[in-house]
Every structure is written in structure tokens, then in C-alpha cells.
A and B are shown apart, each in its own frame.
Chain A
Amino acid sequence: MGGVGSVGPPSKRRKVSSTEIPEKSSVSMADDAIGSKGVKKVEFVRLIADALHSLGYRKTGEYLEKESGITLFPSVINEFSQQILDGNWDESLNSLRKISILDESVVKSSSFVILEQKFLQLLDSQNPDDALRTLRTEITPLSINHNRVRELSSLVLCSGQAMVKPKPRSVVLHDLQKLFPPNVMIPEGRLLHLVEQALDLQRDSCSFHNSLIGKTSLFIDHNCGKDQIPSKTLQILQEHEDEVWFLQFSHNGKFLASSSRDKSAIIWEVNLDGKVSLKHRLLGHKKPVSSVSWSPNDDQILTCGVEDVIKRWDVISGECLCVYQKNDLGMVSCCWTPEGDRVFSGATDKSVIMWDLDGNELESWPSQKTVRISDLQIMGDGRYIVSICKENMIDIFDRSPLGCERIIKENHNIVSFTLSEDKKFLLVSLVNQEIHLWRIHGDIRLLARYKGHKVSRFVVRACFGGLDQAFVASGSEDSRVYIWYRETGELLETLAGHSGAVNCTSWNPTNPHMLASASDDRTIHIWGLNHVD
């Protein structure tokens, strides 16, 4: 049929010579693609060979190069790299000139990098005359980087001193790699980098993601099922004698505190096997307890009676350590400073009061700081007071002398709010059955809305939770717990089990698979994963 000169695509007959970079013939190899996205076979094989070499499998790498006929690097590049690592600057410059496909500017900048090291090495070994000669005859004529030339001149005066230490040679090779086009010297660890990129992408698109990194595998795409979100009642706690209004896990996830219309609060312990047991009953309030607040290091807890007093308790002993009260005033909310040295409370006269630990009032902010049933949070080392100041407004008040106030205004009445652990976000529950996520760090901005649950008559609370606080959970008047994906607002789960309105939820900060809910049906449900891990 055809001889050498006959028709036929050149690629089928042309062999890659070992001193050329494969890309020189890439025009004819271009149709050697693998997969369906145009991945070039030559590049793919070179990446694998590079990965093998960097894992230490030199022989395998070389064998792959032989068998595929695709060289990782032409030998001149290998020689060049070795010369750099050995510090043979002059020879490396010769090799550099032999690498034909580099263009002039790359050759110049690379020469500069190499000669700079030569210069520094000469200075470091107390050879200023030779260093100066290198500068004058080799570096300056490159006519680039004049500022650096100026700096190098001044360094001539510092022969042998610390500031002329040359860089480690592996760093020099790395710098040169960055100057060369990527198909000449493959960036270090490129294959691993591509794999890690893919893993990141998979994780980002997983809306149920609620487990730690150790579970990812390269063999299947990462895709959590709903099975990573707590959805099964593992335990029902029935120790309260009336509606349970509030509950919260401690910061360290070892305890849970709940408060009830039965005028008591209970501290529960989370045991190592995941079971929750009663630790202390906190009795003594004369009114229903509307909320609790854990101290920053979880050794104490505040309980707030409805328009009544605030009590401070020791968690280990269950003893009441102090009572906070002011004549003729009832408290409506309570909160610790991040240092745990002060207590803040909202009062029925719409003021906010700051107390020391012994029950002495230190300061108060009189007007319009809070409404009758309210939440209160402190952030920024005690500098900012966050409260519901009017029915549809949240006030972020800066206590410092020149501080200003920032207001979040909603179009509907606000029922409750929660501050995120990192104090940068606010979840606001509204009476129109929406929960709004606001960013309060920097510009105040509404980020997302969560819908589907029922709120009309009662105070219902929402919380953040799960791995990286990726989820939002809320109670609802239809007796269910609702869970949304924070980023998109997608409703992921509704958990049935309670027989009364669910007032409050809390996600265990140290166990993304444990969620607690408090209900008018007098019980607390502990939710966990729907299967055994």
C-alpha cells in the first residue's frame, strides 16, 4: 500500500524523540485524548510518572516512561535540575541555554535567579572581588530587575555577613519551576493537587455533609446521605412536670440544661455512651424559668425566672451561689460576658443591667433596650449588647465610649434570636413563620431565609448546629423539629415525635450527630442518627 510518503495522519507514525519536549509534537499528538473531556494522554502519563517519582518509585517511573514512549522530562531538564541542586551555577546556565523552547524573557529571569545565587555564594565565602565581577559582567548586562541589581551592589559591602546567605538550593529549583512554563517543569505535586481539588468540590456540593474528613475515600464520590443528620429519637427525657420552654447544651457538649414552666431547671449529663441522665434539679424559683445561660467555661449556669429573679448556680454541686434582683423589677433575660466575670440581664422596664458575680449592680442602660419577653446576648468581649429593642428591631449596642448602635429592622415582629458561636451571624425567628439569617460582622446583611415551620402564638427558637455549623434547626408549633441546610435554605428534615409544640432546639457543639428538643408535651427528645455507625 503506501510507502513512507503516503497519506496517513503523521501522529500514527511519528515517535517522540527523547531530547524533545513532547509538547513540540503535540500538534500531531493532539488527537490522542483520553476520556471525554479532552484530557491529553501525554499530559496524563507525564503526571503519573511525576507522581511515581515523587513517591520514590523511580524504577517504576522510568519503566513507565520507556513503555509509553512518553518521557517525563527530556534529559536536559533533568541535568539542569541536578546542577541547580548541586550548586553548579555555570553549568546550569549552559543547560538553560540548551532548553530550546523557553522564550527569551524566561531565560533571562531564570539566569538572573541562578546568577544571584552564584553572587551570594561568592559573597558568603568572603570573595567580594569575584562576586563583584559576576555582578558587573554577568548580572547587570541582563538588563532586567534594576532595583535588585542596586540592592546587590550594596550587599557587596556585607561580605560574609548574615544578610548574604544564599537560599537553600531546593528553594531555588522551586523558584525556577515557577518561572518555567508548566509543561516544561511540572509543578510539584500536581496530580495530588488535582485530586484534592476534586475532593473539595465534592464536599462543597454535599448538602448533608455532617461527618469529619476522615471518612472521604477516593473510590466513590463523596455524598453524604440523609443518614448523617440526626433524625431518630434515641431518648425521651420526662423529668419536667410542665411545658419545657428552653434548653441548651454546654459549650463542651458534656451537659444539657433545660428550663420549664414547672419553675425548675434541670442540668443533665451527657454520658460517654451518648445517653443523657439527670444530674441536678435546680429548684427555688417562684416563677416559671424562661431561659438558662451557660458560663463561658461551663462551670456555672444562670437561670432566669419569668419577670422574676436571676439565679446563679454551680454546675458540679447544683448549689445556688447568688441571686440577682432589683426592687420592683423583674428580669426577662440573662447572659454572661465572654470572660465570665459579669452578668447582663434585661428587665421589665426595658432596661439592660450589668452585674458583678456577687449580685451587685454595676451599670444599667435605661431606655428602650429590651422588650418584655426578650433575648439577650453579649459579644465582642463584653463590648456589644444584642437585644430585641422593639417588636421588630434588634439592637446591637456598642458600650464603648464612642460606640454606635446598629439596628436590624424586620418587617414582622421578632419572636426570638440566636447568636452564632463565632458571634458573626444572627438567626432571627419571626412571627410570619420565617427564620432570617443575618451577617452582623462587617456589613449587616440578610443572607438567607428558612421556611416551612409554624410559629404564630408561642416563642419558638432556632439554633445553629452540625459540623461547621452547616445546619439550622428550629422548633415549631406543629410538634416537629425542622432542619435546613444553612447555605441554601433547603429544608432537609422534619422530625416527628413530640406531641406538643416544640419550643426550643439545641445541637450538641461537640457531637454533630446529637440534637435535643424541648416541647410543651413536657418532654425533651434526644435525636441521633438513624443507624448505628
Chain B
Amino acid sequence: MDVDPRQYENITINDNDSHNIVLSYLIHGCFKDTVESLVASTGLKVPAVQLEDMEKRKRILHFALEGNALDAIALTEHVSPDLLENNKDLLFDLLSLHFVELICSRKCTEALEFAQAKLTPFGKVQKYVEKLEDFMALLAYEEPEKSPMFHLLSFEYRQHVADSLNRAILAHANMPSYSALEKLIRQATVVRQCLSEELGKDVQSAFSLKEFLKS
């Protein structure tokens, strides 16, 4: 779909809106120092409590990304009590991170004991059974990186768990779990795709965000 510059000119954008969009993105990602810079340059107001919470959240996520699930869990309990109680999926994912840590440090006996103590209770619920089996299968390999389940050891997996944890903590604190920036991008993409479908056949390809931003 061709860009029609005339349409764009007619829309006014409020500076404040732009600043808030950037701010929400930074808060979501716990970029504390950058937030402080932005606040200093733009005159936005951010309550101190929010800054502290952001600091704590940053530490929790950092633990998770390192694979230090136990500390992540402890701090989460401290910051948002009951969160993990009510979110068993997340708890399982975090516990499994610790299990993976033990495996990677080749502490098999400890890993086995940990699994028996903390993970097997989940096995009573059908939806966790397959996941549990995936993790347990790691025990069979002396070089888990070479097993079929190697993706469970990867940084991407830890990132995935950390993201879920982040959204859960934000939701728990009644803050939006998706940043305004993310929402806008999603909205724009969906709208463009719908429109291009409606217009029919002589449209070449699906909407590409990258191309759009370059144009």
C-alpha cells in the first residue's frame, strides 16, 4: 500500500504523548538510568516509588537471565507476594531454570533430588507432564548441550521466562504488562495487514514494519 504523505501531515502529535511512549518502554525494560536522564531532559514526573520498584524488578530479571532462579523467586515473593502462588506455570518455569542450572554445572545427584522434591508435584497435573518429561530427559545426557532438548539450556529460553515474569510482576502491580510502544507497533501492523487484505490482489506483500520505517 502506498504511503500517502498528505494524510500524515494532518495529524498533530503531542510532545507529551511521545515522551510518555518512550518512558513506558523504558520503565517496562527497567532502564533506570535512562529513565532518570529522560526525566531530567523533559520535565516528566515519575514517582520515586516507581523508580524503586523498577530497581527491584531489574534485579529479579537479572537473576532470572543468569539462571539464578532461586534468588529470582525469593525476591519476587518479597516484592509481589502471592504472585507465584497464583501463577503456577511461571513457578514451574522458574524452578525448571534452577534444575537446568544444576544440570549445566553437572551436579546430577542434586538435580535429581531437586526434581524429586520440587518438580514431581507438578507431574500430577496433566499439562505439566510433557514439560516435566522434557526436563527429566536432560538427565540422561552427559552432554546436555548435545541432547534433543538443548534449547532448554539456551539464553533465549531464559529470556522467555524472564519476559513472562516481567509481565506478571507488572500486572500484579496494576501496571500495563505491555509497553505503549509495543501496543502501537502491534496495532499499526494489524491495521495495515487488514487493509492490505481488503484491498485485494494487486498488493505485493504483507506489511513489513522495517520497510515502513525506512520509507
Contacts and interface: CB of A to CB of B under 8 A. Distances in A.
Given A128-B112, A157-B120, A152 B142 contact: no
Interface residues of A, number: 18
Contact of A154 (B108, B132, B141, B142): B132
Contact of B136 (A139, A146, A153): A153
Interface string A117-161: 000000000001100100111011100001001111110110000
B175 interface: no
Contact of A132 (B112, B132, B133, B148): B112
Interface of B: 108-109, 112, 115-116, 120, 123, 132-133, 136-142, 148
A157 B137 CA distance: 11
Given A132-B112, A154-B132, A157-B120, A137 B137 contact: no
For the complex of A and B, 5 pairs with smallest distance between CB atoms: A150-B137, A153-B136, A153-B140, A153-B137, A154-B136
Nearest to B133: A154
B112 A156 contact: yes
A140 B112 CA distance: 17
B148 A146 contact: yes
A157 B140 contact: no
Contact of A156 (B123, B136, B141): B136
8 contacts: A139-B140, A140-B140, A150-B133, A150-B136, A156-B136, A157-B112, A157-B123, A157-B136
B58 to A, nearest CB: 36
A145 to B, nearest CB: 11
A202 B38 CA distance: 98
Contact of A136 (B108, B116, B120, B136): B108
B137 A149 contact: yes
A139 B132 CA distance: 21
Given A150-B133, A150-B136, A153-B138, 10 more contacts: A128-B112, A129-B112, A135-B139, A140-B141, A146-B148, A149-B140, A151-B133, A156-B139, A157-B115, A157-B136
A137 B142 contact: yes
A140 B148 CA distance: 12
Contacts of A153: 133, 136-140
Nearest to B139: A153
Nearest to A158: B120
A137 B148 CA distance: 17
Contacts of B138: 153
Contacts of B148: 146
A151 B116 CA distance: 16
Contacts of A146: 148
B150 to A, nearest CB: 13
Nearest to B138: A153
A139 B141 CA distance: 9
Interface in A10-58: none
B112 to A, nearest CB: 6
Contacts of A128: 112
Contacts of B140: 135-136, 139-140, 149-150, 152-153
A140 B142 contact: yes
A389 B109 CA distance: 79
Contacts of B109: 129, 132
A280 B101 CA distance: 92
A137 B138 CA distance: 13
A136 B112 contact: no
Contacts of B137: 149-150, 153-154
Contacts of B120: 157
Contacts of A154: 132-133, 136-137
A135 B148 CA distance: 16
Contact of A157 (B108, B116, B142): B116
A136 B139 contact: yes
Contacts of B136: 150, 153-154, 156-157
A469 to B, nearest CB: 51
A149 B116 CA distance: 19
Which of A136, A141, A151, A157 is packed against the most chain B CB atoms within 10 Å?
A157
Which of B120, B136, B140 is packed against the most chain A CB atoms within 10 Å?
B140
A429 B148 CA distance: 68
B19 to A, nearest CB: 52
Which of B112, B133, B139 is packed against the most chain A CB atoms within 10 Å?
B139
A141 B123 CA distance: 27
B59 to A, nearest CB: 33
A140 B136 CA distance: 13
Contacts of A151: 133
Nearest to B109: A129
Contacts of A129: 109, 112
B52 to A, nearest CB: 42
Nearest to B115: A157
